[in-house]
Amino acid sequence: MRKNLDGLQPALSADDIALFRQATRFVTPIRPSGRILLPPAPIAPRTLLRQRRQWASGSEPPSPPRSSLPESCATIRDDTRYVSAGRGPDLIHDLKRGKWPMQASLDLHGSTLDQAHARLSRFLASCADHGIRGVQIVHGKGLGSKNGTPVLKKSVRHWLTETDTVLAYVECAEADGGAGAVHALLRAPAKPPRH
């Protein structure tokens, strides 16, 4: 091997290239799989990196970002659907009919409240980092809960209404989990300023 012109990276010699071509002459290229490869997440601020290290080490995770708007400002809010303030009810209609495809899913079955809260926070942060907008969150119907009260279902839906990145959610159709899951629409990622 020899160095290239700038001296930084090793370059292949003509003999190495010929040897490689000889070794790979019967190789058939793989057909495209159609999978989407997500770009690497952008470099996060130091405070966010510190929080992520705390999550990874098992420290108590911070709460998801809270909206600065009071709860009464939400335009639509009940147990089966939610739209954040300043958004129209047509957002729910569009979400129900699949205008935004579900790009990621989180299943919280079997999680305690603390585990579910931490996992949901990390999931939403990861989706925001990768520009994912349509998500499904499966929390279960709560049929196995004490006294038949769906604790995780109510908590997850409440957390979603308090998170800035969530614009809306609707209860899933029965084929997609019914009362045990929601489809949520996340805020579009901020575009970097042009220079």
The percent of the chain in helix, strand and coil, each rounded to the nearest 5, is: 35, 15, 50
Whether 123 shows a pLDDT value over 90: the answer reads yes
pTM, two decimal places: 0.57
| Whole-number average pLDDT of the chain | 78
Instruction: Indicate if the pLDDT at residue 193 is higher than 70.
Output: no
In three-state secondary structure terms, 93 is helix
Q: Which residue's structure tokens are 């349509």? A: 134
CATH of the domain at 168: 3.30.1370.110
pLDDT of residue 136: 93
In a domain, 15, yes or no: no
Q: What is the pLDDT of residue 60?
A: 55
What span, in angstroms and rounded, lies between the C-alpha atoms of 70 and 80?
Answer: 20
Is residue 38 a part of any domain in this protein? no
CA distances from 11 to 6, 17, 47, 132 (A): 10, 10, 40, 39
- Give a yes or no: residue 7 inside a domain: no
What does the pLDDT look like over 58-102, one tens digit per residue?
665 555 544 444 443 445 566 788 888 878 778 888 888 888 888
Residue 3: per-residue pLDDT: 52
The confidence score (pLDDT) of residue 122 equals: 92
Residue 42 belongs to some domain of the structure: no
Query: For residue 43, is it within any domain?
Result: no
pLDDT of residue 182: 92
Q: Distance (Å, rounded) from C-alpha 194 to C-alpha 136?
A: 33
Residue at 26 is within a domain: no
What are 138-169's pLDDT values in tens digits?
988 877 767 667 788 888 988 998 888 999 99
Residue 10's pLDDT band (cuts 50, 70, 90): low
| 67, part of any domain | no
pLDDT at 185: 92
- Segments forming the whole domain that contains residue 128: 72-186
